[in-house]
Amino acid sequence: MQLRDRAQYIEKRLAQLFPETPIPLHHEDPYTLLIAVVLSAQCTDERVNQVTEKLFARAKTPKDMGQLTVAEIEDIIRPCGLAARKAKSISELSKLLLERHEGQVPDSFGELEALPGVGHKTASVVMSQAFKRPAFPVDTHIHRLAQQWELTSGKNVEQTEQDLKKIFKPTSWAKLHLRFIYFGRIYCTSRNCDGRQCEICRHCFPERKRPKSFQRA
């Protein structure tokens, strides 16, 4: 199956499996989404949602968050892991939003990535989901699946992102990003599919005899 046919099949099948694409992280606005995404680094969405329920009960605006000490934030978010680093970033970015952006989350990649603890992937999620701007955030699930489905050579997440953007239309990026993640978590996990087990791998690569290796993010 050629790349174009494979991409069309994958996009169609994912849409059939996941017609709705709810954002897994609980949030109310761009700021609470930003905080949730910062907390999601090396942490499950389920755990983040448990933590943000407690955190946002104390502070869910940059002003309120800035009034908490770093130690107070760290104590609340400890279950997410990397608590000291994340607490410092959350405190600092909240104060910078007040100082530079009148308490609003900026809607540009440059301004978002200038905030503490906000890398390109985090900025991409916020741009895509909060501001509906074309972006294709690549996490470990997407990076792995894109390699197994031979949509990229997958040398790094940056290349994977660029390759996927070339293959799929910008209007599909927001939903595809989430559909890749859902499929990778449910049907094609790193433990139960080596490139030959899940239905998409079997359909696209029926002749594949050996496990498909992939470059980790």
CATH code assigned at 181: 1.10.1670.10
Decide if 125 contacts 33 (C-beta within 8 A).
Answer: yes
- Residue 87 in domain: yes
- Based on the fold, state whether residues 117 and 144 are members of the same structural domain: no
Q: HSE-up of 198 (CA within 13 Å, CB side)?
A: 22
Tens of pLDDT, residues 75-104: 999 999 999 999 999 999 999 999 999 999
Domain ends where: 130, 149, 172? Answer: 130
| Domain's final residue, options 130, 146, 170 | 130
pLDDT of amino acid 213: 80
Mean pLDDT, residues 2-18: 97
Residue 45 shares a structural domain with residue 95: yes
Q: What digits encode the pLDDT tens for the residues 128-186?
A: 999 999 999 998 889 999 999 999 987 899 999 999 999 999 999 999 999 999 999 99
**Structure confidence at residue 191 (pLDDT):** 87
- Residue 89's domain comprises 30-130
Length of the chain: 217
Report the alpha-carbon distance of residue 54 to residue 156 in Å, rounded.
Answer: 35
Whole-structure pTM value: 0.92
**CA gap 51, 88 in Å, rounded:** 16
Report which DSSP code applies to 68: S
In a domain, 114, yes or no: yes
d(CA 136, CA 159) in angstroms, rounded, equals 12
- The reply to whether 103 falls in a domain is yes
pLDDT over 90 for what percent of the chain? 89
Asked whether residue 24 carries a pLDDT value surpassing 70, the answer given is yes
- Which residues are the active-site residues? 121, 139
189 and 97 within one domain: no
Whether 122 maps to a domain, the answer reads: yes
**CA distances, 41 to each of 45, 119, 140 (Å):** 9, 11, 11
Residue 66: CB partners within 8 Å, gap ≥ 6? 91, 94, 95, 98
Q: How many domains does the chain have?
A: 2
CA 209-13-2 angle, to 5 degrees, is 50
* Domain shared by 71 and 51, yes or no: yes
**What pLDDT is recorded for position 217?**
66
Residue 49 sits in a domain whose CATH number is 1.10.340.30
pLDDT at 18: 98
